[in-house]
Structure 1
């Protein structure tokens, strides 16, 4: 009978610096300052690696446990974009090892007490669209280096406790500071404290209510429900329109769209119609 001393070991590093190590060997392995444990319920499917710009892909499958990757952390997005490295290692001499995969966690799904995570190779970023799109609406993101708006300004950001909430998607406030209706539409809601700390959602609707109340509706429900009294932050939204940039933010000098660009109908219209 032929035996092998090769095992697989992989480490995950979250964006907050937490590092976990896993191995399919039946004992602990230690190298690079990381302890790779066999009792954390993680396994990887066969790795597919391509040449050139082909996307490497695989999956990590594991059990949700309090000692390693928890459902709460997954739902809070704390593992989004975690950096992953996978080695083949001789468990009798861990100095004899080979790095076979380096990338990050992609889409994560969960069911029946387990999770499944897509592994994305380093070439994944090269498939992102490059260059600038010429479009009437702004290409910048509110508050980024192109936009230059300071989102910490009192007129653009509001911190307050959670009041009445429905399904983690509808937030009702009996009283609300004097912001115009729809001020936070297209903005973001971030949870700052409690079990759901770190979660955020895009705001779909911002509706004023009689008596000074407010209804904030998210596009999708938060993965974990904030409790009444937990602190949230609302950030003003931008609809990417030049008029909004000028009147709402007073920032038209940094507008990154092309509001005078002719529409598609103009391009296909007969020449006589173009000149009136």
Structure 2
């Protein structure tokens, strides 16, 4: 820490918490009675939103914390929670001197389970030490384990990403059609990221095409998205060796064992000699 806290009889200290959502939005809050600006983020006064006690330990057990608050604040509402805008968001909780703006981060993690009841929400926070419990050893699989255009795959994601503009939405079928012609088969298993509108910044999975030339999505579409809204579409990958080699020319980075015998070998019997 940069300074000892609560060492004097009178302290100008307040708590702050910062939420970094995956859609690129950063929200800051403080228990102080006025807004505070530091680290390039406006931390809004929100006395009704408080972090619980933070438990930190020196061993490998994950630290625990929880945030509770009211949905009355304009920055957090039930629609955004239901849309998943806060799922997996990064969280920083700390102390700030509201006079000198000295601050210390006491907890860093991500948002886990979120519950909502009677106009209030509660969010469990997952410590970064939880990553130490993940098994780093990969498991054998006939398909590629790497995320398309991610680490291990090593392809340039922008080479397989194009911008399209929305032409129409079919909310009943959960499909979208674009003004430009696209091969829906290329984007099966890929992603769509809205660049504007009520779902701006959200990344949605693409399942495949339909008979009308639309693209079927795996997340409910907001009917308020207007025609002409731009979206970034990234192609999908079947994660097979054939797709990797012939479509992308990337077999050297294939992270799978397509020729490894499976468990069905245990049930096979030798053919009798005729």
Bin for the TM-score computed over the shorter chain: 0.7 to 0.9
1:42 corresponding residue in structure 2: 49
For these two proteins, the number of residue pairs brought into alignment is: 258
CA contact (8 A) 2:206 2:218 kept: yes
Is 2:65 the partner of 1:58?
A: yes
Tell me, in whole angstroms, the C-alpha distance in 1 between the residues paired with 2:268 and 2:241: 25
The partner residue of 1:205 within 205, 208, 222 is 208
Q: Which runs of 5+ in 1 are unaligned?
A: none
1:133 corresponding residue in structure 2: 139
CA contact (8 A) 2:165 2:180 kept: no
The partner residue of 2:193 within 183, 190, 205 is 190
Q: CA deviation at 1:255?
A: 1.3
Tell me, in whole angstroms, the C-alpha distance in 1 between the residues paired with 2:195 and 2:14: 38
Q: Which runs of 5+ in 2 are unaligned?
A: 1-8
CA displacement 1:187-216 (0-9 Å, x = unmatched): 111101223210111112223x3xxx4121
2:245 corresponding residue in structure 1: 246
Q: CA deviation at 1:224?
A: 8.2
Is 2:110 the partner of 1:104?
A: yes
List aligned pairs for 1:211-222, cutoff 5 A: 213-222=212-221
2:90 corresponding residue in structure 1: 82
CA displacement 1:202-243 (0-9 Å, x = unmatched): 112223x3xxx4121122225785322211122111121111
2:163 corresponding residue in structure 1: 159
| Farther off after superposition, 39-48 or 251-260 | 39-48
Compute the RMSD of aligned alpha carbons.
3.8
CA contact (8 A) 1:186 1:203 kept: yes
| TM-score, normalised relative to structure 2 | 0.74
